[in-house]
Amino acid sequence: MKSSMFAFATDLSGEGLDAVLENVQHRAGVEEITLAAAYHAGRDVFPHNPSGRVRYLEAGAAFFRPNAALYDGLLLKPRTSSLVDGDSEKLLRGDPLGELCEAAGRRGMKTNAWLVFLHNDRLGFEHPECATQNAFGDRYLTDLCPANPEVRAYCRALATDVARYGVSNIFAESLHYHGLGHGYHHERYFEDLGAVGTFLLGLCFCEHCLEAASRDGVDGETARRSVREELLLRFEREVDDEPDELTRERLEPFGGEELLGYLDSRTSTVTSLAGEVSAAAGEHAVLIFLDISGAEKGFATGKPEGGAAPGIGWRMGIDVTALAGACDAVEALGYAADPTRVGSDLAAYRTLIGDPSKLGLLLRPMPPDNRSAENLADKLSLARDLSLARADFYHYGFCRLNALDRVRRALSK
């Protein structure tokens, strides 16, 4: 299996290119590095970054020098980080992705790009007409809509732009719809709308999604009205009949076949967008679709519950079988402490994606998922047994340096 370590440009600027690459290549024993070339805002703890142990990441920032010609005539364009041609961090010259490609190449290492496409907390504020829109007409300004033609053009251009750097792979995060939660800072939901209500409030009913549904023979306006009426009821009264885990079938009473058809149209939108972005990356880079279903279940605790991770992909318009055909590969997020749980999720992915060369696994070598090399080795063994193409590690800056020793020992078992 191939493997890489995910990292931020702030890791490179804080510790230096050579220090990071030395740690990844020799201490962790990993042959590739994956840089977040377009990312969202955040406040994170970095245990070993000398330039700041708690840092704020820039909103909707690009960590490379965009080719302006690729975005000529487009409404949406990348907004570069202060690390690009800036003077705030002297350890980089002004093009984090380009400098990393050069430095890694000198060591015989490959560089990958990690792109967050649609969860963009800058472009949505600048262009709210490109953001998703709920059944009441409210815009979610941190999420660009995958059905919007301007958004799709931006995604294609972004993939083309980054592929020209000669990266081996592009890990595509957030190339799908998002739910209500995890969109902005200090979100507050004091009244419980239930699993159904929370899901319905996150659905996009912008004009482009309605047009896409119409092309698919679905009356999206009827679905929108049904969703709006149900939400109004839930805003007025408490709900106590919620399922343990939301299923498509549980939604039928709230919108009938039109709502289920609307969900199918969303899936078609995501699949076609992924195919377009994969084509835009061209022959220079492999496009790997990051399926965040595993993170939806286990991100906070490392203890996912309910059915296998790919079973909730429909909520975000994710169909891993279709995406494995539209893209070069799909990567599962194995965010679980128990290797048995990771194994059951991988078995489900393997059933849905027949070709193991089109499936990868992303693991966290630190809490809450991992505290020993043996645990990590067990998970890697599961991936090898299924003949997965690759296993990657998230995230260099977030873990203690001794977690890199754990990675090396696990890889050698």
Q: What is the mean pLDDT of the segment spanning 314-323?
A: 98
Question: How far is the CA of 110 from the CAs of 32, 130, 411, in angstroms?
Answer: 5, 35, 18
CA distance 329 to 357: 7
Q: What is the mean pLDDT of the segment spanning 113-119?
A: 98
* pLDDT-derived band at 90, boundaries 50, 70, 90: low
Q: Rounded to the nearest 5°, which phi and psi values hold at 54?
A: -125, 120
Looking at residue 303, what is its pLDDT?
97
Architecture of domain 4-188+270-412: Alpha-Beta Barrel (3.20)
Residue type at 2 in one-letter notation:
K
* pLDDT-derived band at 191, boundaries 50, 70, 90: confident
| Partners of 332 in beta bridges | 291, 361
Given a cut of 90, whether residue 412 has pLDDT beyond it is yes
CA distance 204 to 169: 30
Looking at residue 85, what is its pLDDT?
77
User: pTM score, two decimals?
Assistant: 0.96
Given a cut of 80, whether residue 240 has pLDDT beyond it is no
* Token duo for residue 161: 């732009």
Residue type at 330 in one-letter notation:
V
Q: In degrees, to the nearest 5, what angle opens at C-alpha 202 toward C-alphas 199 and 208?
A: 130
Q: In degrees, to the nearest 5, what angle opens at C-alpha 216 toward C-alphas 117 and 287?
A: 30
Given a cut of 60, whether residue 89 has pLDDT beyond it is no
Domain ranges of the chain: 4-188+270-412
Looking at residue 241, what is its pLDDT?
66
How do residues 335-360 score in pLDDT, each as one tens digit? 999 999 999 999 999 999 999 999 99
CA distance 156 to 75: 13
